Amino acid sequence: MLGFITSLNDILIPHLRAVFTLNYVQAMLIQFCFFGAYLIMSFPAGLLVGKLGYKSGIVCGLVTAGTGCLLFFPAAGSGLYPFFLCALFVLASGMALLQVAANPYVAVLGKPELASSRLNLTQGFNSLGTTLAPFFGSVLILSGAVKTSEELQRMAPAALATYNIAQAGAVKAPYVGLAVVFYALAVAIALFKLPRIEDASRPIDQPDSRSSHGAKESAWAYRHLVLGAVAIFLYVGAEVGIGSFLVNFMGQPGVAGLQPDTAARYLSLYWGGAMVGRFIGSALMSKVRPGLLLALNALVVIALLTVAILTSGTIAMWSLLLIGLFNSIMFPTIFTLAIDGLGKHTVAGSGILCMAIVGGAIVPLVQGFLADHIGIQWSFCVPAICYLYIAYYGQKGHCRFSSARSGQLAPCES
């Protein structure tokens, strides 16, 4: 469900952009409100999980997400774009709470050295949701006829308001159905017996086997966590930016000239590649150093973005779609490298990393500004720059100091 909801935003963007005649920056406010909630809500979510525990945190996140989905019903009835943004913020607040509770819970359930492998495995199922959502959205949201901007300009104000309400209403049934699923999951998790960690604020307090320093007073004192937060910020921003523009990019006459509902089905290949890659990555993580694999994948993505920017037609389209396969292991790998060795600060570190997901709000806005001024194709320079930093983090950025007073980095064995 985490993956499904996030990917469904990529369908909302072209739909609401057409309905409300938005430019790219205005359309990217969908991602701004959704991922902005991670910045605002992740820290309170970390405090809540610390007090209630992982299981209760997951249940609260599911209930909040379900409530956000229900708010799409009155938002669609209003026919006003800001109401949709408010509903998305509530929905994303539930997503932030789920991320803060679920990701570190998976990371600490087992051997520390296999944390990246476990999180990649669970993120593989996350990607199943991102793969299914575009098909779901193309049939239930994008299949209706949408008037061109010229036709909308010729409509009378009253007729335009009626049209907006009718078009916006396409999201009512899908999101109410998703609310039912979220509430059902909340009940199921509440009743299900999960392994219990007594104190969520102190999930693991193991000595760092690769360094001699002891625990620090604050999670912010850990270099690899702070740099990891920057990597999460840039990665989520780049991934969201690419996904947000793919439908419109594939609709360009110089690329593939696809209709929105057809392009949305191709979008499933982008997210489907991430699903396949995460299951493969889960197996590779037990044999290949996670940081090295992260750096190599980032370099491949930079190459694919370069091809997409400098070419046209189906070559450019398939270059972007293929990025999903190499994006696959990035989020869970960065996450586990960043919280590695935090001990009692693991939950706080998770909250910091989830706050960094706000990159999904900021980077697409920057890309949208460039798309409005220099075109969609050249706007993909923005995610390319983001992946350069991710390559650095995989190679050197996640290394930790060999001691509390030393300025030397310990060897990157993780």
- CA-to-CA dists, residue 154 to 78, 159, 160, 306, 379, angstroms: 22, 10, 9, 40, 31
Domains along the sequence of the chain with CATH: 2-192+213-397 (1.20.1250.20)
Q: Tell me what the mean pLDDT of segment 162-190 comes to.
A: 87
Tokens (6 digits) for 25: 């920056």
pLDDT at 372: 95
Q: How far apart are CA 358 and CA 43, in angstroms?
A: 12
401 forms bridges with which residues in the sheet? 409
- Can you say whether the dihedral through the CA atoms of 316, 318, 320, 326 is positive or negative? negative
Q: How far apart are CA 301 and CA 382, in angstroms?
A: 13
Q: How far apart are CA 288 and CA 414, in angstroms?
A: 9
What count of other Cβ atoms lies within 10 Å of the Cβ of residue 25? 18
409 forms bridges with which residues in the sheet? 401
Q: How far apart are CA 79 and CA 140, in angstroms?
A: 18
Contact (Cβ atoms closer than 8 angstroms) between residue 324 and residue 271? yes
Phi/psi zone of residue 343: left (φ > 0), alpha (ψ -120 to 50 degrees), beta? left
Confidence band (pLDDT; 50, 70, 90) for 208? very low
Tokens (6 digits) for 186: 């909340």
Q: How far apart are CA 348 and CA 365, in angstroms?
A: 28
- Global pTM value: 0.77
What count of other Cβ atoms lies within 10 Å of the Cβ of residue 338? 28
Phi/psi zone of residue 272: left (φ > 0), alpha (ψ -120 to 50 degrees), beta? alpha
- Which residues have CB under 8 Å from 121's CB, separation 6+? 278, 279, 282
pLDDT at 414: 45
Task: Render 267-313 in DSSP notation, one character per residue.
Answer: HHHHHHHHHHHHHHHHHHTTTS-HHHHHHHHHHHHHHHHHHHHH--H
pLDDT at 350: 79
What count of other Cβ atoms lies within 10 Å of the Cβ of residue 387? 26
Based on its alpha-carbon atoms, the radius of gyration of the chain, rounded to whole angstroms, reads 21
Q: What is the pLDDT of residues 340-370, one digit of tens each?
A: 888 778 778 877 888 898 999 999 999 999 9
Q: What is the pLDDT of residues 214-252, one digit of tens each?
A: 567 788 889 999 999 999 999 999 999 999 999 899 999
Q: How far apart are CA 15 and CA 132, in angstroms?
A: 18
Contact (Cβ atoms closer than 8 angstroms) between residue 208 and residue 400? yes
Q: What is the pLDDT of residues 243-283, one digit of tens each?
A: 999 989 999 999 989 888 888 888 888 888 887 887 787 77
